[in-house]
Structure formats: structure tokens, C-alpha cells
Chains A and B, each alone.
Chain A
Amino acid sequence: MIWNPYYEAIDREKLYTLQFLRLKQTLERVYQLVPFYRESFKQAGAEPGDIRSLDDLQKLPFTVKNDLRDNFPYGLFTVDLNEVVRIHSSSGTTGIPTVVGYTQKDLDTWAELMARTLTAGGATKESVVHIAYGYGLFTGGLGAHYGAEKIGATVVPISGGQTKRQVKMMKDLGTTLLACTPSYALFIAETMEEMDLSPKDLKLRSGVFGAEPWSENMRHVIEEKLQIDAYDIYGLSEIIGPGVSYECPAKAGLHLSEDHFIPEIIDSVTGKVLPEGEKGELVITTISKEALPMIRYRTRDITTLTSEPCACGRTHMRMKKVSGRTDDMLIIRGVNVFPSQIESILLEMGETEPHYQLVVDRVGSLDTLQVLVEVSEQMFSDHVRGLETLENKIRAEIDNLLGVTADVKLVEPKSIPRSEGKAQRVVDKRTL
């Protein structure tokens, strides 16, 4: 099933015309209303009038996450606050979160995109959709929620946690579609085993899973254990949230809604646009958003794009599953974590030059984060209790600022391997 055949299966020539019109409108809008864009366009020597084709988009400068932070909270908005009906936010690396805003039209667009996503994942009016993404400032829960409602499905807004109760609800309510992170889907499968329930006891038929990277291998495990079709979905709050791209039953890449976004793949070092099919960093320009348009936003996600026709009939480009990041961001239980955030916590605790290492692993189906911190002169105390208090304090700060539970462990000086004098910050042992 295709939610919106007119746009999702649009003739690509027509699509280019639509994209160009919407791009021009967006560029005029940000140039006139956002000083940041006006300045950065001028510095790059390009004005909206110089953009005469889609290819000319390359003349414009990139936007990065830091630009959102530098203009915190509303500096990049193109509408008055009274037009903004919703805020979402993610934690920031230096304590300043990234804030994104939506007008009513933006929320409608988002719901449309999630309706496409969920429909591609098997949802219909008859579906019972169990949304176990977190509700709140995180875009996962509410994003999926409005999409499922738009379809007319029966929505169970259960959010995260209390997994046994979740399983019981799915069984009792006859849930047909599960929306959550892939690792939580696995955790649900394990919980079902613990509860002596088999997939036959449930009516679950499919799942749309995102907010963290996962592999083909993990797809097979989830499909096997839950006896469902598992679909990958992609999105980021800076662009709109989940629903930027989504898999169809062909499971051969994620269709990116090109009537709302223009994707490019760049070489993350040189910034040059790469030809179709080459692997690089995904850059997205929004062309229909009102509150917070993004021009050439660097997602830091690594993938490839193809416009080859898809068996499902959709004509939008497909991106491969994200294979990595161009920065050091980690996704732990769906939460974005930068090593620099941990560093700033240690700095705030009076450490002048903290040496630390993040060890990420996956035990069973859940991600674990261990933070190793080398004991320094300032930290060291002759008292066991003093050191334990310090560990607890670091743990509490990480939980407080990042929303991730970490196992904090003090280690001996120089015990973290260093390359060129700098400690290796991240060890990711997860085999996805």
C-alpha cells in the first residue's frame, strides 16, 4: 500500500519541477527572515536569485548542528513564536540543547510523512499501532503518533518502559504494528520468551524501527523472533523527526520523501557533492517547512543514494541503511551521546584534563555504556567512600544531562590506550 501515490510515485521530471519551485520559495523565505542565512549566503557569494537550477544548490553553504546552538533557541525560526505550535528538543554537547519548532502546517507535513512511513510498513485503518518510542521532547513518540492517527489506525501511545506490561497490552489489544527502536523490539521479544509467550499468541504483523543504527542481521533476528516484517525508518529532529525516509516492502533502501526534502551526498572532508551511488555524508535541504527550514543541513550520517526504480512503485530516491557517522556521536538506547558531553561533565567537576573512555556494548538486546575515568591527583582520595561518591556523582550527572544510565569506573592513570597522546575516546563493541 502507498499512502499518497500522487507524490510518492510522482514522475521524476515533475518532481524536479516541484522541488525547484519549493526550493526557491524556501530560499527567499530564509534569506529575508533569518539573518544567519542572509549572512552565510552573502559570505558564500550566493543569493537566492543565483539559484537557477537544482544543481545550483551546491553554491550555497552548509548548515551544521552548531548553527542551531549558536542561534539558540529561536534564531533560525522564520515565523513568530505565536505561529509555532510545538517544540521538540535534543540534548546538546555543551549543555545547550538543540531546539526545533513546528507550525501547524509543519505538524501536518510531519504526520503525512509518518503516514507514508507507517503505510509502507503495513499500517492501515484497521491496524492497532503500539508506539513504544519515548513521548516527550524526543520526536519519536509524537511523530509516530500523529502519523498513525492520520491513517486512522488505533493508536496505543504506551511510550517506553514496563516491558512486561507492554507485552500484555499487545496481546490483550491485538496489536498489529509495533513502533520502537530496534533494540527495544529485541528486548520485547526476549521479554515474551520470559513470559512464555510465542509470536502466535500475538497478532503482530510488522514493525517500524528507527532512531538508532541496526544491521540486516539484526533485522533477521527481529523478524525471526517476533515473526513479523521489520522495516527501517530514518529521521532527525533538525529536519523534521522520524519519517524523512522509510523502507517499503521491497526492503531495499529507504525512500526519502523528495517532495519535502532534497538530499545530497557529499565528501565529508572536501564538502564536494558526490555522484549518485557513491558513499558519503547525507545532506538535506527542507523545501516545505515553515518554522525551521534547513538549508543543506549536514546530517553526519553516512549512506548512499540511488534513483533506480523500486519494485514497490515509489519513485523517490532510496538511501541505504545508515552505515556510520562522520563525527563521534554515539547512539545509545536511542539517545544521542557525544564524547565531548562526558568530557564537559568531568571538566565541570574540576578535572583539568580528564582522560576517559566510553565503552559501548550490547548485552542481550540492550546497549550498555561504561565510562572509564583515569584517576587524577585531584580526584584521588585515601578513602574508598570518597572515590565511590565520586563515581556516583559522575554517574548522576551523566544521567541528568544525557538521560543515559552509565556504569562509571575509575581506572589507573595511563591505563587508557593513547594514540598520539590523546586517549582513545570510544570503544564500540556492538556488533549490530
Chain B
Amino acid sequence: MIKQISVFLENKSGRLIRIAQILGEAKINIRGLSIADTSDFGILRLIVDQPEKAVKELKDNDIMATLTDVIAIEVPDRPGGLAEVLVYLNKAGINIEYIYSLIDKPAQNAMIMMRVEQIDRALEVLENNNIPIVSSKRIYAF
């Protein structure tokens, strides 16, 4: 399981810059990100190399941030690659709450981050179907 940082963002200019600067100054490397937004606010989801430290730094700067468990998997970087994996989860009745991708440096495979309701069950299904699950170590230390 990977610790993702979820950050509350108001939709106004300069918010994302500030977060990037705080993490940069704390020497925290951002590995991936995605934003879900409405007209008023957004939730910024970040994968970083030091999640606990990142949350602390953000909170010290009065930014609302929490840790969320997500799963990272590798999928073959070719047409249909993602679908193959999703079918297994669908069959097992596991709902994906959100999903986004990361760029993996030796880029044969795509790296997918996903948040599901039943995280342990999802891991089990993925393992049983030999989907490569990316360890937190690999993500953080990358």
C-alpha cells in the first residue's frame, strides 16, 4: 500500500504553487499528482517520497492534508493494458473511487494509482491475477 497525501485546495490562484514550494523547500520530491475539483474547491492528491514528513510540513503551514491508502500497480503500456486489470477488480465487485497514472522511469509499463473501498480485498484479487503491485519502497525511493 502506498501513502498518498490528500490536500484541500480552494480554487484560487497561487494555491498549487504554494504547496509545491513548501514541499520543495523541505526537499520532498513529488512523484505524481492528480486534482479533483468542483467550482469552489479541489482535492490535490500527491505521491511523494516522504509522505509523513510532507503532511507535517503542509499542516505546519496551515494547509489541510491527510494520508490516504492507495494501491499502485503496473500495467502493460499497450492498448488494452489497463482494461485487463480492471476487469479482475470489476468481477470481484470492487469499486474504484478514483484512479490516476504516474510515469515510471524505465518506461515499459505504466504505473497506475488507485483508491478503492475494499483495499485488502483488492490487493488479494490483484495478487491472485499476477498483476504487479508496486511497493511503497519503490515509489518513495524512486
Contacts and interface: CB of A to CB of B under 8 A. Distances in A.
- Interface of B, helix, strand, loop or mixed by DSSP: strand
A384 to B, nearest CB: 5
A412 B45 contact: no
B25 interface: no
Given A375-B8, A382-B6, A413 B62 contact: yes
B10 A415 contact: yes
A289 interface: no
A409 B9 contact: no
Contact residues on A (Cβ < 8 Å of other chain), bracket: 10 to 19
A323 B67 CA distance: 50
Contacts of A413: 62-64
Interface residues of B, number: 20
B97 to A, nearest CB: 7
Contact of A382 (B10, B37, B38, B66): B66
A380 B66 contact: yes
Contacts of B38: 384, 387-388
A281 B97 CA distance: 57
B97 A412 contact: no
Interface string B18-54: 0000000000000000001110111101000000000
A384 B43 contact: yes
A411 B64 CA distance: 10
Contacts of A194: none
A422 interface: no
Greatest chain A CB density within 10 A among B15, B40, B62 is at B40
Nearest to A408: B40
Given A382-B43, A382-B45, A377 B64 contact: yes
A376 B41 CA distance: 14
Contacts of B66: 377, 380, 382
Given A382-B68, A412-B62, A415-B10, 8 more contacts: A377-B64, A377-B66, A380-B8, A380-B64, A380-B66, A387-B41, A412-B10, A413-B64
Interface of A: 375-377, 380, 382-384, 387-388, 391, 409-415
